[in-house]
Amino acid sequence: MKIERFGKRTAALILAAALSAVQTVPAAAEDGWAIDQGRQVYRIGDANATGWLYLEIPLSWQEQDPSTAEYAGDHNGMAWFYFSPMTGRMKKDDVTEIDGVTYGFHRNGMLLTGWVREKAAVPERRGYAYYGTGDETGIRTARMWRYLRDPEGSSSGARSWFYFDAAGFPLAALPDQGILSRTIDGRIYLFDSDAHALSGMVEVLGGGDPAFYYLDPAQGLAASVGSVQIDDGNGAEWYMFDESGRGVTGEVDGYLYYRGRLQRKSRDYGIFEVDGRKKLVDPDGRIVKGMTVENGNTTWTTGVDGEILSAVIGGNSVNVDSLAADEMISPKVSRTIRQESR
């Protein structure tokens, strides 16, 4: 694997517990870098060093390789290196497991940290891996969440949640998909093509009726499923989402929903058109079925499915077809994503 670039991260002076067994290198004149059978080693006295060493990056390497110079500039000219316990040869240009922990190494052997572009991928973010910093220095992220800034070169410096799969790459939607839905630890999460976990009320356009999802910040950005109450800034309201997390349109348990949101008129009855038929809905959002209801100077009669059969207003019969239906209320969205039409 060829490492093409790496993110800017402050060098850590202490490795994680996995790196606790390290050697302190004395500043002796006879110690230093050498070549042993064509491979880079570090000599301490008359022997090749083994295991983890925290060393100064040679100036000659920096002069010959821009990425090494960049790394040195970001890490105060120092880096962790790993040398084979058997031969003392330096590990380089590799992703490998050491003592049960996976690490990545630059082509000149420096332990990688931060974002690293390891391969070409679609979307581009699927080609990036992330190696820990601080107490987790150099540990490759896999099967876990990270709250990170985007890799270098992105337009935003804000942090987002990323989830890294078993191979160590972040989950991300294909550009024409718009969103990627994945179940993680039994809960549904949505990701965009930048590998960001989505948050809040999201509208997805393309391929038919818009789909609405609520990724609850109070629930770790998991998609809401079933009946939940959501405050969109205009007060709390009830919503209904199916097993995939998509907002329901239609009747559920006698209540009327549209794009997930409960439909009702506060303190009054509402007329909502469903599948070309006008239905009467009470102030709680319940469809009025098989009843005669008096509301002020109006008397309604409904069928068993809630369709308005007749209306008498001020003692006069009114043609049901002439009744104006109330506008369905859509959720208030925080983000809209478009999918390519197919």
208: which DSSP letter? S
Who's near 323: CB < 8 A, 6+ residues apart?
Answer: 271, 278, 308, 311
Q: Are 92 and 40 in contact (CB under 8 A)?
A: yes
Q: For residues 318 and 312, give the distance between their C-alpha atoms in angstroms, rounded to a whole number.
A: 6
pTM, rounded to two decimals = 0.84
Q: How confident is the model at residue 266 (pLDDT cuts 50, 70, 90)?
A: confident
DSSP-derived pairing of the beta strands 94-98 and 101-105: antiparallel
Strand partners, 48: 43
Handedness of CA 7, 12, 17, 20 (dihedral sign): positive
- Over the stretch 180-226, which tens digit does the pLDDT of each residue have? 999 999 999 999 999 999 999 999 998 788 999 999 999 999 999 99
Q: Give the pLDDT score at 195.
A: 96
Helices (H) and strands (E) in the chain, counts: 2, 30
Q: Helix, strand or coil for residue 67?
A: helix
Whole-number mean pLDDT of the chain? 90
- Over the stretch 17-34, which tens digit does the pLDDT of each residue have? 444 444 545 444 479 999
Residue 144 has pLDDT above 50, yes or no: yes
DSSP-derived pairing of the beta strands 78-83 and 94-98: unpaired
Q: For residues 112 and 80, give the distance between their C-alpha atoms in angstroms, rounded to a whole number.
A: 9
